Amino acid sequence: MASSLQVLDQFQISPPPGSVPDTSLPLTFFDIVWLFTGPVERVFFYPFPHPTSHFVTHLLPTLKSSLSLTLQNFYPLAGRVRPSSDPSSDSKFEICYSAGDSITLISAECSDDFHQLSGNHPRNFGELYKLIPQLPHSNEGTIPLLALQVTLFPEHGISIGVAIHHVACDDSSSMHFIKSWAASCRLGGSDSPAPPPPLHDRSTIADPDGLYSKILAEIEGLRAGGSPPPPAESPSVAVEQPGVVIASFSLTREQIERLKQLVLEKSKKGEASPIHCSAFVVACAFAWKCLVKAQGGYARAGKKTAHLLFSVECRSRLKPPVPAEYFGNCLRPCFVELPVGDLVKDDGVLFAAEAIGRAIKGLEDGVLKGAEGWFQKIVSLIPEQPMSVAGSPKYRVYDADFGWGRPKKVEVASIEKTPGTISLAESREEQGGIEIGLVLPEHEMDEFSSCFSGGLKLL
């Protein structure tokens, strides 16, 4: 693998000198749950039919200068998480930015087949992962938050690899950053407005019930028992496994609408109250059934219950609502379980969608209900190998246009680190469609593909 990738240069990019004062932002209870995890990693592929000389002379300087300007607004990403400098603070950890702090930007050149790597078909995951930068090592108890890698495939394309530690922000905020950088980089050719600046006011997240201290105590209690790992031991490098592939599957708008119709018809027959039924719900249900059938481990292990874990955006659900531009984490976990026997039936997708829809509908009783037990429940589910979900169609990853057009392909590479994780994004090809990504051993991917295509034939 190493012979096909050549690092051209490495830069440290800071906000413009004097543009950001030394600042510290306390972590909220939404952030603290991610303290001992690792980065969310994405790769954006773009057609770029130019040689290395054009890339180095014309494009790279623009990427660097626009990144610096973008970090002026998104300065927390250039900082680090550290223990709070104020012993009287309710928050024990903070993001600290000091003048001169920077992020690493790597420029590289790759001789691999751009079109092979940026396709939807199953391909070797290890070949993709070298396009992702590594976060710098934690230093003196601090956690770096962002690293970037721009890789040229001469005469064919470019990839932008992004690694953002989850403790810094969720997908909503990370895509806000990416789209802001893209808007700053664009040189004409697009009349679309730049995104609004981020909001860094942490007082926006109210904590009247002391959830921060309760969740932190829960985490520290679990750490004392050996889980979760400290930051230095958090997985940040994927270990290449022979036969592990990444692939994408698509549901068209028409297929999604048909699934929603079937779910609602089934719900009316057996439910006294309506359920939440959306494109997200039916896409998760479809993938959940196919993944359980592909893995086959439930039957071998004698498991009778399948588990699903996904995050729910809370900005609009909190009271009062939090502005969409709020920068940080604002997610809660949502837990769903279903008998394996129901999930693997011919109409298992309908059972799954009903269960997911009921779970989301239940959030209307209070989006923070049971928050003090979230972390422990997540840890307790790990041995059950739940399907978990990264991303969402509403984040619109294919709108990240740096001036070369929309991405050809976007992958969430970090799903490889948690077995049973899928990624969701909007379809690049049509409004209302959904793209599902996953990483599996090759034989399981074949089973997933067979179940997926077989299910579509029934619609």
Residue 200: active-site member: no
Cis amide prior to 419 (ω within 30 degrees): no
Cα 43-384-330 angle, rounded to 5 deg:
50
Least Cα distance to 54 among 131, 155, 183 occurs for 155
| Catalytic site residue from 156, 165, 166, 176 | 166
Residue 401: active-site member: yes
> How far apart (Å, rounded) are the C-alpha atoms in residues 236 and 133?
10
Distance of CA 242 to the CA centre of its chain: 24
> How far apart (Å, rounded) are the C-alpha atoms in residues 336 and 191?
43
3: helix, coil or strand? helix
Contact indicator for 101, 72 with CB cutoff of 8 Å: no
The structure tokens 């609602």 sit at 264
Residue 45, beta-bridge partner list: 159, 409
> How far apart (Å, rounded) are the C-alpha atoms in residues 42 and 435?
15
For residue 347, the tally of other CB atoms under 10 A from its CB is 13
Q: Extract long-range pairs of 278-282: CB within 8 Å, 24+ residues apart.
A: 278/357, 278/360, 279/393, 279/432, 279/434, 280/392, 280/393, 280/424, 280/434, 281/353, 281/356, 281/357, 281/360, 282/251, 282/256, 282/349, 282/353
> How far apart (Å, rounded) are the C-alpha atoms in residues 360 and 381?
19
Residue 149, beta-bridge partner list: 106, 161
Contact indicator for 256, 283 with CB cutoff of 8 Å: yes
Rg (alpha carbons) of the chain, rounded to whole number: 22
Contact indicator for 60, 107 with CB cutoff of 8 Å: yes
CA atoms within 13 A of residue 128's CA, in its CB half-sphere: 32
Catalytic site residues?
166, 401
